[in-house]
């Protein structure tokens, strides 16, 4: 499943990267309670709960202004919303169909029973990953699982910021810290997946799955930062079309 998601990750990056992505990770994240000058006069809009109407987007926050830490219960609520959103079930069904079509795991077999195995493992990948990176490890390590949108600046700087949030995150006290929850959480999810992916239990496959998952999460961050821009452009185009 993780290998197949790589194609989606590449598509998300292509969507966001309208300019070359030469930005280094040297840009520091804005500190809690601060806003860029272009944001001060603008009204912060609530985030869409689904990207493209399917991809769950519950852990995105519009900015770091008025930063408030999450309780353990709130972290688990975000993970549950992402894991059990209708979009997760739809995505699991799509990945299950693709997996069965390409016979990715021969031990799962074909037919309705085989599809059920593909579907169950695809959904497990989503749910376990969500809980590990958004609830369990953030609670244990006192880290904030949310993605705080930058939403301003050049496209290159925003791209670097979004990619960098795979490597760093904010603690419950608002300080910047290495994103242990992302790395350890996804590593744990990959390790657990070995229990039900009997055809691919090698160290090489495990490392490959982890690398792909981190890349996909990075691409998802990019999409989260640029998605509101896309929505505004579509809305303006629709308004102009309606007015003609």
Mean pLDDT of 57-84: 92
Q: Can you list the pairs that 202-209 forms with residues at least 24 positions away whose Cβ atoms lie under 8 Å?
A: 208/2, 208/3, 209/2, 209/3
DSSP labels, 18-52: SS-----TTPPPPPTT---HHHHTSPPPPPPSEET
User: What local confidence, expressed as pLDDT, does residue 52 receive?
Assistant: 85
**Where residue 244 falls among pLDDT bands split at 50, 70, 90?**
low
Mean pLDDT of 150-171: 91
Q: What angle do CA 217, 174, 190 make, to 5 degrees?
A: 30
Here the tokens at position 18 are 């309208």
Q: Are 32 and 170 in contact (CB under 8 A)?
A: yes
CA 71/CA 116 separation, integer angstroms? 36
Q: Which residue has the higher pLDDT, 45 or 71?
A: 71
Mean pLDDT of 64-75: 92
pLDDT over 70 percentage in the chain? 77
User: What local confidence, expressed as pLDDT, does residue 229 receive?
Assistant: 81
User: What local confidence, expressed as pLDDT, does residue 33 receive?
Assistant: 52
Residue 89 has pLDDT above 90, yes or no: yes
pTM tops 0.85: no
| β-sheet with 143-144: strand ranges across | 143-144, 168-171, 176-178
**In this predicted model, what pLDDT tens digit does every residue of 21-67 receive, in sequence order?**
434 344 445 555 554 444 433 445 566 788 888 888 899 988 888 88
Mean pLDDT of 125-154: 94
**In this predicted model, what pLDDT tens digit does every residue of 164-219 receive, in sequence order?**
999 999 999 989 999 999 999 999 999 999 999 988 788 888 998 899 889 989 98
Alpha-carbon distances, residue 127 vs 78, 94, 185 (angstroms): 12, 15, 12
Alpha-carbon distances, residue 70 vs 81, 104, 136 (angstroms): 15, 39, 13
Pairing of strands 60-61, 147-148: parallel
Alpha-carbon distances, residue 134 vs 80, 109, 128 (angstroms): 9, 33, 10
Residue 5 has pLDDT above 70, yes or no: no
User: What local confidence, expressed as pLDDT, does residue 47 receive?
Assistant: 66
| 142, HSE (Cβ side, Cα atoms, 13 Å) | 6
Reported residue count of the chain is 244
CA 70/CA 98 separation, integer angstroms? 37
Alpha-carbon distances, residue 144 vs 63, 70, 72, 169, 192 (angstroms): 13, 7, 10, 7, 23
Lowest pLDDT segment from 126-130, 179-183, 197-201, 231-235 = 231-235
How much is the CA Rg of the chain, to the nearest whole Å? Answer: 19
User: What local confidence, expressed as pLDDT, does residue 32 receive?
Assistant: 57
């Amino acid at each position: 499943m993780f290998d197949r998601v790589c194609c989606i990750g590449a598509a998300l990056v292509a969507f966001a990267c309208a300019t070359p992505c030469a930005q280094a990770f040297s840009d520091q994240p804005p500190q809690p309670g601060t806003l860029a000058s272009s944001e001060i006069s603008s009204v912060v809009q609530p985030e869409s709960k689904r990207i493209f109407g399917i991809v769950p987007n519950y852990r995105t926050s519009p900015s770091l202004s008025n930063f408030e830490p999450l309780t353990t219960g709130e972290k688990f609520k975000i993970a549950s919303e992402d894991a059990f959103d209708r979009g997760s079930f739809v995505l699991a069904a799509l990945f299950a169909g693709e997996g069965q079509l390409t016979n990715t795991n021969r031990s799962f077999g074909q037919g309705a029973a085989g599809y059920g195995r593909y579907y169950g493992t695809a959904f497990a990948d989503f749910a376990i990953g969500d809980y590990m990176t958004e609830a369990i490890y953030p609670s244990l390590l006192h880290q904030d699982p949310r993605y705080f949108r930058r939403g301003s600046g050049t496209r290159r700087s925003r791209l670097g910021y979004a990619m960098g949030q795979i490597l760093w995150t904010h603690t419950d006290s608002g300080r910047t810290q290495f994103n242990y929850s992302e790395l350890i959480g996804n590593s744990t999810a990959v390790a657990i997946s070995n229990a039900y992916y009997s055809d691919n239990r090698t160290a090489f496959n495990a490392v490959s799955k982890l690398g792909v998952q981190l890349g996909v999460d990075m691409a998802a961050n990019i999409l989260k930062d640029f998605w509101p821009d896309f929505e505004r452009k579509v809305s303006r185009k629709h308004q102009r079309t309606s007015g003609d």
